[in-house]
């Protein structure tokens, strides 16, 4: 039974689906047929944020089958913790590395990240009413430590206020922390050490469209030419 009335957002999405079908199934059927018959063979795992403004496929202009993507609040990678609990991001990493055998893993952070702003607010002692977001972003709580005084309470308050006004330093530090957490996964470390897997940390500046990447030697972020 066809739908008789759609909201504007749903109508727009359905129009997009029709456009996708026309572009890939009607004009370029061979590429989609190959993905169906041969399966996916992406070379890149992209770990991105759920933020609606930073879609990895749109940002990189990737085609179907080119990226294996997992998105979560603040583009975080938890440490390796095989405890039988629900670990969606870790499951995606395991599948991409062990089953799909990707050769590149990219942690993609971005400016104006709400999850990172929430992480900074946690340091103020501000009460939260969420069940999942605060525990999740606290995965990289240690990323704030180098930027907040532990000896002077007043200085610590000033440091937190400064970070709230300029969160980019923590957004980037969180990417570095997630890159480090990737190396706690034995199957990731094994392939990195074997030279068959490379890990990248990227940060996208929403204001001017620049991409920054971690320099593997200095561990500092620099603009990508």
What does pTM read for this prediction? 0.94
> pLDDT tens, 5-44?
789 999 999 999 999 999 999 999 999 999 999 999 999 9
Span of 100-114, 129-143, 150-164, 197-211 with lowest mean pLDDT: 150-164
Both tokens of 128, joined, read: 């939260």
CA distance 47 to 56: 9
**Does residue 209 register a pLDDT over 60?**
yes
Q: Which of 125, 102, 1 is nearest to 42 (CA)?
A: 102
Using alpha carbons, list the distances in angstroms from residue 139 to 81, 177, 178, 191: 12, 9, 9, 24
Rg (alpha carbons) of the chain, rounded to whole number: 20
Read off the DSSP letter of residue 112: S
Both tokens of 117, joined, read: 């702003």
Using alpha carbons, list the distances in angstroms from residue 169 to 112, 143, 148, 162: 11, 10, 12, 10
Query: At a CB cut-off of 8 Å and minimum separation 6, what does 216 contact?
Result: none
Q: What percent of the chain has pLDDT over 70?
A: 98
> pLDDT tens, 60-107?
999 999 999 999 999 999 999 999 999 999 999 999 999 999 999 999
Residue 166 banded pLDDT, cuts 50, 70, 90? very high
Contact 107, 178 (CB under 8 A): yes
What is the model's pLDDT at position 125?
84
In this prediction, residues 127-141 reach a mean pLDDT of 94
Residue 141 banded pLDDT, cuts 50, 70, 90? very high
CA distance 141 to 178: 11
Residue 215 banded pLDDT, cuts 50, 70, 90? very high
Walk across the sheet containing 67-72 and list its strands. Answer: 67-72, 44-49, 104-110, 198-204, 211-214, 221-223
What sign does the CA torsion over 218, 219, 223, 224 have? Answer: positive
Angle at 102 between CA 98 and CA 104, to 5 degrees: 130
Span of 45-49, 131-135, 151-155, 209-213 with lowest mean pLDDT: 151-155
What is the model's pLDDT at position 153?
85
Q: What percent of the chain has pLDDT over 90?
A: 91
Q: Which of 102, 83, 38 is nearest to 92 (CA)?
A: 102
**Does residue 3 register a pLDDT over 80?**
no
What is the model's pLDDT at position 45?
98
């Amino acid at each position: 039974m066809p739908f008789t009335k759609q909201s504007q957002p749903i109508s727009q999405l359905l129009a997009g689906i029709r456009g996708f079908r026309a572009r890939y199934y009607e004009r370029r059927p061979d590429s989609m047929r190959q993905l169906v018959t041969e399966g996916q063979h992406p070379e890149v795992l992209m770990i991105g944020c759920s933020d609606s403004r930073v879609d990895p496929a749109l940002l990189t202009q990737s085609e179907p089958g080119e990226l294996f993507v997992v998105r979560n609040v603040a583009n975080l990678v938890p440490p390796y913790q095989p405890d039988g609990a629900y670990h969606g991001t870790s499951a995606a990493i395991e599948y991409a590395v062990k089953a799909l055998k990707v050769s590149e893993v990219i942690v993609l952070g971005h400016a104006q990240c709400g999850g990172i702003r929430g992480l900074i607010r946690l340091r103020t002692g501000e009460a939260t009413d969420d069940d999942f977001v605060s525990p999740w972003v606290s995965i990289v709580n240690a990323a704030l430590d180098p930027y907040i005084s532990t000896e002077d309470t007043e200085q610590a308050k000033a440091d937190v206020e400064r970070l709230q006004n300029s969160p980019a330093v923590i957004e980037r530090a969180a990417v570095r922390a997630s890159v480090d957490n990737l190396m706690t996964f034995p199957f990731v470390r094994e392939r990195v050490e074997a030279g068959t897997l490379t890990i990248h940390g990227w940060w996208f500046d929403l204001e001017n469209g620049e991409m920054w990447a971690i320099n593997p030697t200095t561990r500092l972020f620099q603009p990508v030419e």
